[in-house]
Structure 1
Amino acid sequence: MKKWSLLTLVFALLLVLGACGSKDSSKEDSNSGSKKDTITITNDFGIQNEDGSSDSVKDEVKVPKNPKKVVSFDMGFLDTLDTLGIDIAGVPQDSIPSYLKKYEGSDYENVGSLKEPDFEKLATIAPDVIFISGRQASLYKEFSKIAPTVYVGLDTANYMESFKKNTELAGQIFGKEDQVKAELAKIDNTIAKVQGETKDLDKKSLIILGSEGKISAYGPASRFGLIHDVFGFKAADEGIEVSIHGQNVSYEYVLEKNPDIIFVVDRDAVVAEGASAKKDIEKNDIVKKTTAYKDGKIIYLNPEVWYLSGGGLQSLAEMAKEVESAL
């Protein structure tokens, strides 16, 4: 009887040890699975402060793969997510370009404006990931307290490399790698077509942004510099200061450079109701003396695409079509 009790005790002990081993193994499997279900992203970007100083952020974040609640404060990235068929939980509804108008609907949460996010609403939504860019960069820490936050702003000095990096990142996070590859191939073909047409073009161009009665110029490596750097249009002025707001210039400057083509981004059309830089430029007597005006080569670019949602799969394709019209 004692012998039987001893065997029973040994058998029970083996069962307990086996169960512990099974739990440890299960725990390891669970941890292994959790690692596979997240992607580690390094945010590395600069912040321009209002006083003119700058700071930098370098931070690693873990983002769940195939996140369900997605918020995007960058319209270009929203454009890309829309192309990929990703469900969106919230957007800043005051700055939606018309071709993404559906996101103004009640099916989507309004999370404030591009520069003034509604952090209370964000906390209520409890998103799995938030995508931001330059306009929200200074608020990165506040966003990070609510959810994993990913910076998807464009590096305009390396436009295509930056654009492709962001697009491929979207593919990795949402399991859309094959679709992204196909979409990027289309973009490459479109750009190659424009480059083929500008390769031997012996004409110079100038990019200006009109805002509140004033104009600023943009050159290579700038916010709109892909016209030169990517699409291949020669610049009328190679020395334009690289700045997010452009270099303040006069209409006399425009005449002095006398470009063959002038590309215009009308900021007023998207931020000031009833205002139009286009009207100011068209009636300006100095502009009328330029070669671009005389040849009918003042190209008014879609400000929604260029000012609000640049760097998206849809917007970049549209940009290519618009600059091609100058040819």
Structure 2
Amino acid sequence: MKRIVQSAALGLTLVLAAASAQAFQLEHHDGVLELDTAPGRLVSYDLGVLDTLDTLGIPVVGVPRSAYQGSLTQYNDAPLVGTLFEPDQDALRRLEPDLIFAGRRSLPAIPALKDLAPTVHYVDPDRPFLEALRSDTMALARAFGKEDQADEALLAIERNVHTLHEGNRGKTAAFLFVIQDNVIAHAPGDRFGYAYELTGLESVLPANEHGSAPAAPRPQPGSPEHKAAQAERARIIHAVAQADPDWLIVLDRGAINNGEKTAARTLSAHPELSQTRAFRNGHVYYADPNGWYVVTGGLSNLQQITDDLLATMKPDQP
């Protein structure tokens, strides 16, 4: 009888150990998600996460409406689950996902998404960009058993970044967000401040210590607040021109999703920026708007971005 009890106890221990070994654990912004089994029906509203999942060979069954390009082109034919901002609850119910990744634009929808499936996110603007890329990528890789592939992809990006930093040592830059005739500079701490992390270029503007603070409502056109904001932007652009950076990194907002490109024309007509050393010497990097603005993160996307930066800036090899 004692042997029977011992055998039963041993069997139960083995069953529990096997169940524990099969359990799914995913580290994310708010903690650790634990599921009894690995999820097989994923939906991602974060296109950087989507890009990483795709690079690692992890299938995704539903995506938000967007103009997918490059390595994500296949998702133009994937089932749609709303937009980047507004999830489609009915579409999600039809797909029956067992894990949802929310993105920066869909953060407010997380409570509703959690009613349909476990939902996580990796949005944290206060973390250094490259640190977050490695940490979040490896969290996904560990959960899905893709550590080797993830580490190899990260090392390739980090090699590019190292080469850029070596070649750009001692050089300066300004990131310019162009919307038709409007030019907005971004410093470290702003949304596109990660450009300085990637390139190793020093910003000619001081870091924005409040870059992750919630954006204030846009003032009404013609209002005193609107005029004050325009004057402040002009002051900052004047400071950029006076600093005369080695490089201008430019994102043309209108060119997203194959829209009209106007940034080059805007810069050439600008009385101050057109006279900078960077513009006159052709040291202007026009960032791919979909890669930088729409996707932002992701393994294949960051590989393409850093490859393009290297091809344009042509830093000396270390």
TM-score range for the pair, normalised by the shorter chain length: 0.7 to 0.9
Measure, in 2, the Cα distance between the counterparts of 1:140 and 1:129. Answer: 12
Distance 1:172 1:35 in 2: 15
Alignment partners' CA distance in 2, 1:130 and 1:189: 32
Q: State the identity as a percent.
A: 25
Confirm whether residue 86 of structure 1 aligns to residue 71 of structure 2: no
Shift of the 61–157 alpha-carbon distance from structure 1 to 2, 3 Å rule, reads closer
Change (3 A) 1:155 1:27: farther
Determine if contact 1:133/1:151 at 8 Å carries over to the other structure: yes
Alpha-carbon separation, structure 1, partners of 2:260 and 2:196: 31
One of 267, 277, 287 as aligned partner of 1:281: 267
Post-superposition CA distance 1:182-205 (Å, at most 9, x none): 222222222222122122x3x321
SS at match of 2:66: helix
Whether the 8 Å contact between 1:154 and 1:163 is mirrored in structure 2 is no
Are residue 171 (structure 1) and residue 155 (structure 2) matched?
Answer: no
What does 1:192-271 correspond to in 2, within 5 Å?
192-199=162-169, 201=170, 203-240=171-208, 242-243=210-211, 249-250=233-234, 251-270=237-256
The structure that is strand-richer by fraction is: 1
Which amino acid is 2:289 matched to? P
Counterpart of 1:303 (choices 284, 289, 295) is: 289
Q: Which residue of 2 aligns with 1:67?
A: 39
**Alpha-carbon deviations, 1:258-309, whole Å to 9, x = none?**
3221100112211694463443223323321222111111211111111111
What is the root-mean-square deviation of aligned Cα atoms in Å? 3.0
Q: 1:119 to 1:72 in 2, by over 3 A?
A: same
Question: What amino acid sits opposite 1:37 in the alignment?
Answer: Q
Distance 2:107 2:190 in 1: 18
Q: Specify the structure having the higher radius of gyration (Cα).
A: 1
Deviations along 1:16-59, one digit per CA (max 9) or x if unpaired, are xx69x95x876665554443333344543xxxxxxxxxxxxx45
Describe the SS at the equivalent of 1:315: helix
- Partner Cα distance (2:252, 2:198) in 1: 21
What corresponds to 2:224 in structure 1?
A: none
In 2, the alpha carbon distance for the partners of 1:252 and 1:179 equals 46
Provide TM-score, normalisation by structure 2: 0.80
> TM-score, normalised to structure 1's length?
0.78
Distance change in 2, residues 1:275/1:292 (3 Å): closer
Check the 8 A contact 2:82/2:88 in 1, yes or no: yes
Q: What count of residue pairs does the alignment treat as equivalent?
A: 294
CA contact (8 A) 1:156 1:222 kept: no
Q: Mean Cα displacement is larger for which, 177-186 or 278-287?
A: 278-287
Q: What does residue 22 of structure 2 align with?
A: 37
Following superposition, the deviation at residue 69 of structure 1 comes to: 0.7
